[in-house]
Chain A
Amino acid sequence: MRIPLTSTEPPTIRVAYADDHAIVREGISSLITRRSLLLPNETIVVDIQASDGDDLLSQIESATHKPDVCLLDISMPGRNGFDTMLELKRRWPEMGVLAFTVFDIEHYLVRMMIYGANGYMLKNCSTDEMVAAILSVYHYGVYYPDSETMHLYEAIKNGKVGLPAITYKEMELLKLVCTEMTWEEIANRLEVSEEAVEAYRTNLYRKLKVNTRTALAMFALQTGIVPIDINRHGNPIHY
């Protein structure tokens, strides 16, 4: 959030963009920069491009001028968009971040907003809408495309819409449930006993009212605990 200075120099909005798909990232970065030339009062430059969450964090760390707005893809190898969002907001709470994804899934939106996103953009938006969103986050700290989304954001902020109550331990278990690991292997990975894993599992079955491991995995995918990885072959899930 910036108050425009009374200066003749138009403000430059610095944007960082993390996306593992290089041609998508390069193309969209160039598009945003070019389209911003038509703006009367601001210029937008995409001066950081990162291929995953860790790359984004380290580029921002070493940047002299921190970005004003980040665009953050969700499905990325290594540190995914959700985990990156948490880390961005921990280190730079004032920095604007727009989630930017192909996933039109309400749970993903809710998770992103709870983690501190300033807006949630779909990749089928237009260039004009993206530019409008960047300006809105820069000037007002938030972007919503319509009043319906605004009400949803309000409801999330007021705690009226939330995520299913899952403990940290249960979340760790859910991440591994989506792999081909056996329960024994999962216990070893989490460095707990098999009985402990069984207890978490039984608890989750009861909490989510399901009976199978597959249903747990589907829950993890649908709620973004394990964001859908659209890049790779399903065997195995890469961690």
Chain B
Amino acid sequence: MRNSTPTTIRVAYADDHAMVREGLCELLTKMSARTEEKIEVCIQASTGLELLEKLEKAKELPDVCLLDIHMPGLNGFDTMVELRKRWQHLRVLAITVFENEHHLIRMIARGADGFIVKNNSGEQLLKGVLSVYNTGAYYADQATMKLAHAVKTGRIREPRLTQLEQDFLPFVCTDLTYDEIAEKMGTTRPSIDGLRVSLFRKLEVATRTALAVYGIKTGLIPLELTPAA
């Protein structure tokens, strides 16, 4: 007699929004009732750190990790680096609200096996989990697959911000002039102009306001760091 026990895919999921996380787990479990493989969410974590701790303690590693990018504390990017350092073969599907090429590039460069956007359908989520489990990769379309390939082969690199550029960003959101920012950062106006130009280029914006708005939207600049309205 052939073995008819269905395969169970064990999933871990880190997301700081409890309701969103529980909803997605519900959706996955419900939909997998229709597929041959059963999906069981065995680990839920509300931060990257909690995910790492729970994985360390787990008797058996999950088959697939779902990893949200925008989390307080250890965010998805840093968690991804740590996951790869500790468990080279763990399969990880990044899951995010950001429809942003830079985020995709950064996640792939850190070793993610695929990418799900939160406005995808439940069907796509299920497909993503099954595909990462069965083939080790999931990309929603041809374009994403090509992009991922280009990142893996080093033809496309993520825009990396230097420490100075990162330090400069919160100042961009203030009411200070560039001269005043230079004084606050203990540097010169020309070097501030250098930072500004390189950030415009890396983040593909043309004005200070657009840079500030971009920083807030992508979480590069926490809203708390901007002057109170």
> Could you list which residues of chain A lie within 8 angstroms of chain B, going by C-beta atoms?
20-24, 26-31, 34, 51, 102, 105, 107, 122-127, 130, 164, 177-180, 210-215, 217-219, 221-223, 228-237
Residue of A nearest to B28 (CB): A27
Residue of A nearest to B16 (CB): A124
Option from B121, B209, B218, B226 in Cβ contact (under 8 Å) with A180:
B209
Q: Which of B35-91 contact A (CB under 8 A)?
A: 46, 70
Q: Annotate B205-229 by CB proximity to A: 1 below 8 A, 0 otherwise.
A: 1111110111111100001001111
Residue B24 interfacial (CB < 8 Å): yes
Instruction: Give me 15 A-to-B residue pairs in the complex whose CB atoms sit less than 8 angstroms apart, sorted by A's number.
Output: A23-B121, A24-B20, A26-B23, A26-B27, A31-B22, A127-B22, A130-B19, A164-B229, A180-B207, A214-B173, A217-B212, A218-B229, A223-B229, A228-B217, A231-B97
Chain A residues with Cβ under 8 A from B227's Cβ? 215, 218
Most buried by B among A23, A26, A130, A210: A23
Option from A20, A125, A213, A233 in Cβ contact (under 8 Å) with B18:
A125
Q: Are A221 and B216 in contact (CB under 8 A)?
A: yes
A191 to chain B, nearest CB (A): 22
> Could you list which residues of chain B lie within 8 angstroms of chain A, going by C-beta atoms?
16-20, 22-27, 30, 46, 70, 97-102, 116, 118-122, 124-125, 172-175, 177, 203-210, 212-218, 223, 226-229
Chain B residues with Cβ under 8 A from A177's Cβ? 209
A206 to chain B, nearest CB (A): 13
Chain A residues with Cβ under 8 A from B215's Cβ? 234
Chain B residues with Cβ under 8 A from A178's Cβ? 209, 213
Option from A29, A107, A179 in Cβ contact (under 8 Å) with B210:
A179
Given contacts A127-B19, A223-B229, are A22 and B121 in contact (CB under 8 A)? Answer: yes
Chain B residues with Cβ under 8 A from A219's Cβ? 229
Q: Are A212 and B177 in contact (CB under 8 A)?
A: yes
A224 to chain B, nearest CB (A): 10
Q: Report the Cα distance A211→B223, complex, angstroms.
A: 19
Residue of B nearest to A213 (CB): B209
Chain B residues with Cβ under 8 A from A180's Cβ? 205-207, 209-210
Chain B residues with Cβ under 8 A from A228's Cβ? 216-217, 223
Given contacts A210-B175, A217-B212, A222-B223, are A28 and B205 in contact (CB under 8 A)? Answer: no
Residue of A nearest to B101 (CB): A233
A74 to chain B, nearest CB (A): 12
| Additional A-B contacts beyond A22-B119, A23-B27, A180-B205 (20; CB < 8 A) | A23-B120, A23-B125, A27-B26, A29-B23, A30-B23, A30-B27, A31-B22, A51-B119, A107-B229, A124-B16, A180-B206, A211-B175, A211-B177, A212-B177, A213-B209, A218-B212, A218-B216, A234-B210, A235-B206, A237-B213
Q: Report the Cα distance A213→B211, complex, angstroms.
A: 12
Q: Are A214 and B229 in contact (CB under 8 A)?
A: no
The 7 closest A-B pairs by CB, nearest first: A27-B23, A234-B214, A28-B23, A21-B118, A27-B27, A222-B229, A215-B175
B101 to chain A, nearest CB (A): 7
B197 to chain A, nearest CB (A): 16
Chain A residues with Cβ under 8 A from B172's Cβ? 214
Most buried by B among A21, A27, A232: A27
Q: Report the Cα distance A146→B214, complex, angstroms.
A: 34
Q: Are B24 and A27 in contact (CB under 8 A)?
A: yes
Given contacts A31-B23, A107-B229, A125-B19, are A234 and B120 in contact (CB under 8 A)? Answer: no
Q: Are B217 and A102 in contact (CB under 8 A)?
A: no
Q: Are A30 and B26 in contact (CB under 8 A)?
A: yes
B189 to chain A, nearest CB (A): 16
Residue of A nearest to B229 (CB): A222
Q: Are A218 and B173 in contact (CB under 8 A)?
A: yes
Q: Are A234 and B26 in contact (CB under 8 A)?
A: no
